[in-house]
């Protein structure tokens, strides 16, 4: 089963109370000749603010996805994804 590309929001619940989330993305895609498959590189900055022991903790992740896409019945899906965390930063806000 493939993951549908649009909309794509991956949020992994870790038990922490997520108060805010912000995503910034960039995407480059190359289509094959018959327009049924594609490869792409996506960059994402994801910032989460969680409540940890009564304090707001901000985590910022800079991520690169190397994807292969497939078009099935008019919809694009992620066929394969390789995820690379480039930078991860966590700190207490107002603390």
Which element (helix H / strand E) includes 88? strand 75-92
Percent of the chain with pLDDT over 90: 28
* Total H helices, total E strands in the chain: 0, 5
Q: pLDDT digit string (tens) for 30-61? A: 888 888 888 889 898 888 888 888 889 999 99
Q: What is the pTM of this model?
A: 0.67
Would you call the peptide bond into 93 cis, given omega within 30 degrees of 0 as the criterion? Answer: no
Q: Which two tokens stand for residue 6?
A: 């649009």
Residue 55 CB contacts under 8 Å (≥ 6 apart), including other chains: 92, 93, 95
Question: In order of start, what are the domains of the chain with their CATH numbers?
Answer: 3-92 (3.10.450.50)
């Amino acid at each position: 089963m493939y993951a549908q590309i649009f909309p794509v929001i991956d949020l992994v619940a870790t038990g922490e109370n997520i108060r805010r989330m912000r995503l910034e993305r960039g995407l480059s895609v190359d289509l094959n000749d018959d327009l049924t498959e594609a490869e792409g590189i996506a960059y994402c900055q994801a910032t989460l603010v969680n409540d940890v022991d009564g304090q707001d903790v901000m985590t910022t992740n800079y991520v690169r996805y190397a994807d292969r896409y497939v078009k099935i019945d008019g919809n694009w899906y992620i066929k394969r994804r390789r995820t690379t965390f480039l930078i991860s930063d966590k700190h207490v806000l107002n603390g």
